[in-house]
Structure 1
């Protein structure tokens, strides 16, 4: 039996973000901006303004639209902020990594990998960079040198996604085997698995307290589970497979984007934000 989610005033809103499907969303380190990456070969930055308890809006003070945009070389499938907010890393379908300087929003590093690279992430101190691969491994690189430090045999099938616990205790990995594994980041050992999803796990994210983890796949829901018990506490219904879920680092807001199309214009990408207040 599932637990009852210990929150109140659940709400969700939809935003038109791109001309084509949105593959990835990521918050900055203080939860005031949301980055989105799309099939349309652009990365966009949105500003968030919270209003009282559980209310928010995304906007740009000058135009009412996105505030920054970078033209990149391929179809972007992953995007993430460095914890100090100074860099953004973007991965594309050609297994190419681009790191952008946030101040200039210009590329400062590019690397092409010879193997399938899926989701990417920095640790909380920003001195390690993680790659999940199609080989079922997690590659641990030193940052900023991007020198290989360790290779973890994490799953028996390809690893699609990774999330870092904001408290610094764990990281989690989602795999094509439909499992989410939880790892002790100091020991690099697996301590728990989450088994609610039935399809390959596409995306995962910890909430800002590290108490909950969201995960999604081709199952028509986003699962929210308790990190310590492994039990599901809530599910968000979806109309299609999800590509990206990302908790805000300061608020109980979950941004998510998937394969479903905007009801007004079939080729326009959208993302949504689910929020709630603590009980």
Structure 2
């Protein structure tokens, strides 16, 4: 039975640190996996909440795919989904189906799971050295990408690729707009492409003449090094990007101007997550320690969660102020009350 959800409420930036300061993070560990070597700080690669915030999925470099009940941290209450033969690069729940999970491994295999029955209900192979995956908001299709710049449109009910696209440059972790009509593609060159979906054509162009040898496509100039990830706020007001230059940028989605940057992180920014109300944002990096929470409207750093090591994957719950993150190779969640009856 799914846990009873508490009403949503928003914390002011003045109260944020006071609320989270006394709270301790809860570890979710599989002792057997840690013994096998899953405790290295790079083992946990991806974290995803289901739409209700009642389940958390984790994918690891040791091929372990597990679904956790956030209110029951003991591993015996979790579900391991077996079948991947390579490192799991990305996990993502269907945004409109609470029990449908998609996982992507580096050998180019995508699997679709019914987490209630542990069954793999569909599989797509042959995507190359895959590393990025995103659901369209209506849950009817996905985009997956590999390190050669190829993108693949997938269906959760079809065992072959629906359509494939060749990008001029490698695409990293992408994000859809909430209407599903456009997708934001971070590139190795540090910029973000804004394309229509599903045809993946540039939507914005410069309104002045450019050199005939140059493209008129409008790009978000996000980072001085590779742009590694993008995330749209739940309100749709900001697009956040993270780069190999250790920076996180917030773009206003009305005029596409960078409103502010976050420079307190150490190492490449591999993941970004907003709170359910869009008020706060956090970035995950594969270097350094600690997680800095930023107020999106002012750029103020409102709180730092102490961690033992780097936190490559971060994910705020979709309905509550629960933050899931990787720390020294294991899942931790802060905000959840595991002792609540």
In the other structure, the counterpart of 1:272 is 331
Deviations 1:52-105 (A, max 9, x none): xxxxxxxx222x365543323212211111112111111111111111112436
Deviation at 1:171, TM superposition (A): 0.5
How is 1:97-176 mapped onto 2 (pairs within 5 angstroms)? 97-104=151-158, 106-149=160-203, 150-176=218-244
**Residues 10, 173 of structure 1: alpha-carbon distance in 2 compared, 3 angstrom cutoff:** same
Q: Distance in 1 between matches of 2:104 and 2:324?
A: 13
Q: Give me the CA root mean square deviation.
A: 3.0
Deviation at 1:221, TM superposition (A): 4.2
**Residues 9, 198 of structure 1: alpha-carbon distance in 2 compared, 3 angstrom cutoff:** closer
Deviations 1:195-237 (A, max 9, x none): 2212121221222221222211122444433323431524363
Q: Which protein has the larger Cα radius of gyration, Structure 1 or Structure 2?
A: 2
Q: Distance in 2 between matches of 1:220 and 1:5?
A: 21
- Normalising by structure 1, we get a TM-score of 0.77
In the other structure, the counterpart of 1:237 is 307
Deviation at 1:160, TM superposition (A): 1.0
Q: Distance in 2 between matches of 1:89 and 1:254?
A: 26
- Normalising by structure 2, we get a TM-score of 0.64
Deviations 1:125-146 (A, max 9, x none): 1111111111121111112221
Greater shift in the superposed pair: 67-76 or 86-95: 67-76
Q: Is 1:214 the equivalent of 2:227?
A: no
Contact 1:196 1:232 in 2 (8 A): no
Contact 2:322 2:336 in 1 (8 A): no
Deviation at 1:277, TM superposition (A): 4.2
**Residues 189, 246 of structure 1: alpha-carbon distance in 2 compared, 3 angstrom cutoff:** same
Tell me the SS of whatever aligns to 1:61: coil
How is 1:1-279 mapped onto 2 (pairs within 5 angstroms)? 4=17, 6-7=19-20, 8=23, 10-14=25-29, 16-17=64-65, 18-30=84-96, 32=98, 33-45=100-112, 60-62=115-117, 64=118, 67-104=121-158, 106-149=160-203, 150-217=218-285, 218-230=287-299, 231-235=301-305, 237=307, 239=309, 242=312, 244-254=313-323, 272=331, 274-277=333-336
Q: Which runs of 5+ in 2 are unaligned?
A: 1-13, 30-57, 59-63, 66-83, 204-217
**Structure having the larger proportion of residues in strand:** 1
**Residues 108, 247 of structure 1: alpha-carbon distance in 2 compared, 3 angstrom cutoff:** farther
**Residues 30, 225 of structure 1: alpha-carbon distance in 2 compared, 3 angstrom cutoff:** farther
**Residues 183, 10 of structure 1: alpha-carbon distance in 2 compared, 3 angstrom cutoff:** same
Contact 1:24 1:257 in 2 (8 A): no
Q: Distance in 1 between matches of 2:24 and 2:120?
A: 28
Q: Which runs of 5+ in 1 are unaligned?
A: 48-59, 262-270
**Structure having the larger proportion of residues in helix:** 2
Contact 1:78 1:90 in 2 (8 A): yes
**Residues 85, 178 of structure 1: alpha-carbon distance in 2 compared, 3 angstrom cutoff:** same
Tell me the SS of whatever aligns to 1:224: strand
**Residues 87, 80 of structure 1: alpha-carbon distance in 2 compared, 3 angstrom cutoff:** same
